Structure 1
Amino acid sequence: MEAAEQLSNPPKQKHKGLKFYQYVIRALLIAIGVTFEAISLEAFLVPNKIIDGGVVGISIMMEHLTGFPLGVFLVIINIPFFIIGYKQMGKTFTITSACGVTLLAFLTSLFTPIPRFTNDLLLAAVFGGIIMGIGVGLVIRNGGSSDGTEILAVLFNQKSPFSVGEIVLFVNIFILGSAGFVFGWNYAMYSLIAYFVAFKMIDITSEGLESSKAVWIISDQHEEIGDALNDRLGRGVTYLNGEGAYTGDNKNVIFTVISRLEEAKVKNIVDSIDKSAFLAISDIHDVKGGRFKKRSIH
């Protein structure tokens, strides 16, 4: 009886937290990321009246309008977001993010005497965006945030039909548009360039250059296609059983994960074996566990 109860109610596994050295590495990488952000702001963006999105963009405009230091607004404006974030994201995320914002405020004050790196607005927008994106990407990749608008977006996402990404985009369009009234529309357009450059660099830094793709293939020749993917790409495949909703026929589905560089080769392999096969490929942000590591095919 006791054995049966143990089987039906297995003991819960204790959650293993990060080790101390892992916390130290994360903290160091977040600090490096925040340093990149501060350099971008003080050497490229702020001296050229180019803003970023989110709280940083609002803070740059407030500094220009009031004359108070940028760091003051970075802290004050983010405080309500982190209070909300404590309930929505948890204690660790909130503390990490608050420390990141505090460090960013300190570093922007420290780096203020640094002369602007370039007077060319296009170069400032592009390279300022690159450095900002690398910094923000490092912070996000290591479990933090230096901008409260993402937290606000998560909160509104629960009560609106829009995704988090769409809400962040709407907020940033409003902020970047406001720059036109504060600095002039010429600077607002350069700010838009900096924002999209930073946006792309955040993806590259936080997700990596070698993004992965999920592949689904439906074919009557599934075994031949699966063997070809295994032999010619070195990728493992999984066979799934499906059923056509309209016909009720059994379907054989192949699932595998590839790199973006292998997408064209997968299409060629499938097309050479079964031209009528159904093929779907989608982007995925992260792959962990299993046997994703590519097997040698040499």
Structure 2
Amino acid sequence: MRNNRKNKKLNFEKIKLMRTPKITLETLVNILSVIAGAFIFSVGINVFMIAGNLGEGGVTGLSIIFFYAFDIPLAVSTLILNGILLIIGFRFLSKRAMYYTIFAVIMMSFFLGVTGSWSIENDEIMLNVLFGGLLIGLGNGLVIRIGATTAGSAIIGRIANKYLDIKIANAILAVDMLVILLSLTVLSVQQVLLTVVAMFTAVKVMDFVIEGLNPKKAITIVSSKPEALGTLINSEIGRGVTMVNGKGFYSKEETDILYVVINKSRLVRLKRLIKKYDEDAFVVVNDVNSVLGSSFV
């Protein structure tokens, strides 16, 4: 009887340990990235964009319109609007992305409230435009880089992609442009144009944060000399090559296709190598935002 009780107790403790979620170092880093991103984003909005009487795109831009028109705090309107979009579009996000997105939305609304009274005296509007865009892009980039979203336009983009077959990037751009046009009800044409410049800056900074200093390129090569060309890439460029079997649609001829991922700095050298060895090779270059694997340097 005692042994049975001990066994049951041990089994119960094992089940309890299995159910207890483990917080890894990666999870802690991701949480800190979301907090830092939300704070930086909020500083960019309040200290530079609002202080310069400028707008923004997406849900934040809509909240800024409400702030200018009805004096509704950004922290309140962004939380409500993003909350509605999360309820509508939760099924378009993975469970992991959903958790981080909810956390990001809460943090952004919190920091928008905390930094609401912050301001820097400045007579040069272009400083507001450039630093506002820089901080917004940096903040969004830190959040998106870990696989989360900032809700808002991102969810609308996913919905448009599923039901209207519109590219997510195009849908987000369309929503942002619509919000900017609505900003004309509370902003002058000059202020709206400056807002567009700030958004362009934010997008460039966000891409830089997500891709890093040295974005990767994926190269697909269709050549009549795949074996020799693959050996050259391996020895001259120093990268491993994957060979995939393919077949021409019209010719029905089977051919080997080379696939290699390299640092952007080596792209020109690789192109020269391919052109020198096989001028008729068909080459496709794609952007790669992330590469996993200890073999990649």
Say yes or no: TM over 0.5.
yes
> Which contiguous aligned blocks of 4+ residues in structure 1 show a shift greater than 4 angstroms?
none
Query: CA RMSD for the aligned pairs?
Result: 2.0
Please name the residue that 1:173 is paired with. Answer: 177
**Structure 1 residue ranges without an equivalent (≥5):** 1-13
Percentage identity across paired residues of the two chains: 26
Shift of 1:65: 0.5
Please name the residue that 1:192 is paired with. Answer: 196
Please name the residue that 2:84 is paired with. Answer: 80
Contact 2:76 2:109 in 1 (8 A): yes
Please name the residue that 1:223 is paired with. Answer: 227
Give aligned pairs, total.
Answer: 278
1:257 aligns to what SS in structure 2? strand
Give the direction of change, closer, same or farther, for the CA distance of 1:145–1:280 in structure 2 (3 Å limit): closer
Give the direction of change, closer, same or farther, for the CA distance of 1:18–1:170 in structure 2 (3 Å limit): farther
Give the direction of change, closer, same or farther, for the CA distance of 1:26–1:117 in structure 2 (3 Å limit): farther
Matched, 1:212 2:251: no
Q: Which amino acid is 1:286 matched to?
A: S
Shift of 1:245: 2.0
With normalisation by structure 1, the TM-score equals 0.86
Shift of 1:44: 0.7
How big is each residue's C-alpha offset from its partner over 1:39-87, in whole Å with a ceiling of 9 and x where there is no partner? 1011111111212211110111110101121111111111211112333
Matched, 1:130 2:134: yes
CA distance in 1, matches of 2:43, 2:83: 23
Shift of 1:92: 4.2
CA distance in 2, matches of 1:18, 1:273: 52
Please name the residue that 1:66 is paired with. Answer: 70
Please name the residue that 2:4 is paired with. Answer: none
**Could you tell me which of 111, 115, 119 is aligned with 1:115?**
119
Please name the residue that 1:144 is paired with. Answer: 148
Range with bigger deviation, 82-91 or 54-63? 82-91
Contact 2:142 2:209 in 1 (8 A): yes
Give the direction of change, closer, same or farther, for the CA distance of 1:253–1:139 in structure 2 (3 Å limit): same
Please name the residue that 2:266 is paired with. Answer: 262
Please name the residue that 2:248 is paired with. Answer: 244
Range with bigger deviation, 157-166 or 213-222? 213-222
Q: Which amino acid is 2:278 matched to?
A: D
Give the direction of change, closer, same or farther, for the CA distance of 1:239–1:87 in structure 2 (3 Å limit): closer
CA distance in 1, matches of 2:248, 2:280: 16
With normalisation by structure 2, the TM-score equals 0.87
**Structure 2 residue ranges without an equivalent (≥5):** 1-17
CA distance in 2, matches of 1:59, 1:65: 10
Matched, 1:183 2:191: no
Please name the residue that 1:52 is paired with. Answer: 56
How big is each residue's C-alpha offset from its partner over 1:120-153, in whole Å with a ceiling of 9 and x where there is no partner? 2222112211111110111112233333221122
